[in-house]
Amino acid sequence: MTTSVSALAISVMTVSSAQAAVITTDFSDLVQQVTPGVARVNVTKTVSEAELAKAQTADLLRKFFGDRVRIPEQAVIPAIEHAYGTAFFVTSNGYMLTNHHVVEGADNITVTLNDRTELDATLIGSDERSDVAVLKVSGRQFPALPIGDSNLIKVGEPVLAIGSPFGFDYSASAGIVSAKSRSFSRETSVPFIQTDVALNPGNSGGPLFNQRGEVIGINSRIFSGTGGYMGLSFSIPIDAAIDIYEQLKSNGEVARA
């Protein structure tokens, strides 16, 4: 009995120490420092009522009958769809990074800054395979964020994300690096950074920071069976993203072997 109590006491002490280590990671000053360099991306795109209805019908039918169901064509009636995501400044003269899937098919793109200023954004280039897109807004002296080295990250180190989940602008969430060099399919060669940072729709395209306030990744996707956060989030390493950025900025496209 005595042995059991002692073992339990040791176990409780170990857990308490681990919890204390997590609690002492205070990102409050860092959030204030980097938030001005982050922006909400607002996208409008023209779709048809038929496409919207078809997508909703398809989701419902597939839920019951699987992916082999065929959806009939419908009349085309133009409609406007609004979407949103996150972007961040990489240069003081207005170049920004976000995700390809945030701006894909956009007819109009604007960004909303931390002071609620809204600016028109031009799509410089977008790459589907890496899910990286480059935007440009007019102006100078924007608060460009410092770029870190994603090759130096370690599994277990604390990280911070800032974005607009479900439209709630400038929401911060923190966690740790869970794994490195995660891959999903042959369609992409991006060695994703896996974290347990809470990401949801609207976080896409936002920055992932290390404890020094350097961007080490672009938040890109989650692994979920419900569409919401379930503990597995994935970010594009900033080293890979900057390579894509340079090519899109210079050539408007990405060259691969």
Catalytic residue set: 101, 131, 204
Q: Which of 162, 160, 207, 164 is nearest to 25 (CA)?
A: 160
Question: Which burial class, exposed, middle or buried, applies to 85 when counting CB atoms under 10 A from its CB (0-12, 13-18, 19+)?
Answer: buried
Structure tokens at 250: 């210079």
| Distance separating alpha carbons of residues 27 and 173, to the nearest angstrom | 9
| Distance separating alpha carbons of residues 107 and 45, to the nearest angstrom | 5
Residue with tokens 């009939």: 72
| Distance separating alpha carbons of residues 115 and 101, to the nearest angstrom | 26
Q: Which of 235, 211, 218, 225 is nearest to 41 (CA)?
A: 218
Q: Are 244 and 127 in contact (CB under 8 A)?
A: yes
Structure tokens at 32: 């204030």
| Distance separating alpha carbons of residues 77 and 82, to the nearest angstrom | 16
Q: Which of 94, 153, 150, 144 is nearest to 124 (CA)?
A: 94
